[in-house]
Chain A
Amino acid sequence: MLKFPIYLDYSATTPVDPRVAAKMIPWLTEHFGNPASRSHAYGWEAEEAVEDARAQVAALVNADAKEIIWTSGATESNNLAIKGAAHFYQGKGKHVITLKTEHKAVLDTVRELEREGFEASYLDVKEDGLVDLEVLKAAIRPDTILVSIMFVNNEVGVVQPIAEIGALCREKGVIFHVDAAQATGKVDIDLDTLKVDLISFSAHKTYGPKGIGALYVRRKPRVRLEAQMHGGGHERGMRSGTLATHQIVGMGEAFRLAREEMASENARVRSLRDKLLNGLTDIEATFVNGDLEQRVPHNLNISFAYVEGESLIMAIKDIAVSSGSACTSASLEPSYVLRALGRNDELAHSSIRFSIGRFTTEEEIDFTIDLLHKKIGKLRELSPLWEMYKDGIDLDTVQWAAH
Chain B
Amino acid sequence: MSFIPVYLDWNATTPLDPLVREAMLPWLGGAEAARESMGGSVRFGNASSRHEYGRQARAAIDAARARVAEAVGAHSTEVIFTSGGSEANNLFLKGTAGCLKPGMVAVSAIEHPCVREPARQLRRTGWDLKEIAVDRDGVIDAQDWQQALRARPTLVSVMLANNETGVVQDVVRLAGEARAAGAWFHTDAVQALGKIELDFRALGVNAMTLSAHKIGGPLGAGALVVDKRVELAPLIAGGGQERGLRSGTENVSAIVGFGVACEQAVARRATESQRLTMLREQIEAGLVALGAVVFSRAAQRLPNTVFFAFDHIDGETLVGKLDRAGFACASGSACSSAQPEPSHTLLAMGVDAVVARGAVRVSLGRTTTAEEVERFADGLARVLEELRKLASIGA
Residues of A within 8 A of B (CB): 3-7, 9, 12-18, 20-22, 24-25, 28-30, 32-34, 36-43, 45, 72-76, 78-79, 103-105, 108-109, 111-112, 202, 204, 209-212, 228-234, 240-247, 250, 313, 317, 320-322, 325-330, 358-359
Q: Is the CB of B53 within 8 A of A359?
A: no
Q: Is the CB of A359 within 8 A of B38?
A: yes
Q: Is the CB of B331 within 8 A of A39?
A: yes
Asked if B350 CB lies within 8 Å of chain A CBs, one says no
Q: Is the CB of B248 within 8 A of A76?
A: yes
Q: How far is the CB of B131 from chain A (nearest CB, A)?
A: 15
User: Considering the chains assembled together, what is the distance between the CA atoms of A109 and B254 in angstroms?
Assistant: 25
Instruction: Point out the residues of chain A lying under 8 angstroms from B236, CB to CB.
Output: 75-76, 79
Instruction: Point out the residues of chain B lying under 8 angstroms from A321, CB to CB.
Output: 51
Asked if B127 CB lies within 8 Å of chain A CBs, one says no
Q: Is the CB of B50 within 8 A of A15?
A: no
Q: How far is the CB of A217 from chain B (nearest CB, A)?
A: 18
Known: A231-B118, A240-B86, A241-B84. A75 touches B238 (CB 8 A): yes
Q: How far is the CB of B343 from chain A (nearest CB, A)?
A: 13
Q: Which of A6, A17, A39 contacts B29 (CB 8 A)?
A: A17
Show 30 A/B contacts (Cβ-Cβ < 8 Å), sorted by A.
Answer: A3-B38, A3-B40, A5-B53, A9-B49, A17-B29, A39-B337, A42-B7, A73-B249, A105-B237, A105-B247, A109-B238, A211-B221, A230-B120, A231-B113, A231-B335, A232-B336, A233-B113, A241-B84, A241-B86, A242-B85, A242-B334, A244-B84, A244-B219, A245-B219, A247-B254, A313-B50, A326-B49, A326-B54, A326-B249, A359-B38
Q: Is the CB of B338 within 8 A of A230?
A: no
Q: How far is the CB of B151 from chain A (nearest CB, A)?
A: 23
Considering only residues 220-277 of chain B, those with a C-beta below 8 Å from chain A are 220-221, 235-241, 247-254
Q: Which of A3, A36, A241 contacts B39 (CB 8 A)?
A: A3
Q: How far is the CB of B391 from chain A (nearest CB, A)?
A: 20
> What 19 additional pairs, Cβ within 8 angstroms, besides A5-B39, A75-B238, A326-B49?
A34-B12, A37-B337, A38-B334, A38-B337, A39-B9, A45-B1, A108-B237, A210-B254, A211-B83, A211-B220, A229-B235, A230-B90, A231-B112, A232-B333, A240-B113, A320-B51, A327-B241, A327-B247, A330-B50
Residues of B within 8 A of A (CB): 1, 4-5, 7, 9, 12-16, 21, 24-25, 28-35, 37-40, 42, 44-46, 48-54, 83-87, 89-90, 112-114, 117-118, 120-121, 213, 218-221, 235-241, 247-254, 316, 319-320, 323, 328-331, 333-338
Q: Is the CB of A79 within 8 A of B253?
A: no
5 tightest CB-CB pairs across the interface, nearest first? A211-B251, A232-B335, A231-B114, A327-B239, A105-B238
Q: Is the CB of B15 within 8 A of A21?
A: no
Q: Which of B24, B90, B247 contacts A28 (CB 8 A)?
A: B24
Name which residue of chain A comes closest to B35, CB basis.
A359
Q: Is the CB of A244 within 8 A of B220?
A: yes
Q: Is the CB of B49 within 8 A of A13?
A: yes
User: Considering the chains assembled together, what is the distance between the CA atoms of A79 and B90 in angstroms?
Assistant: 14
Name which residue of chain A comes closest to B21, CB basis.
A28
Instruction: Point out the residues of chain A lying under 8 angstroms from B218, CB to CB.
Output: 28, 244, 246
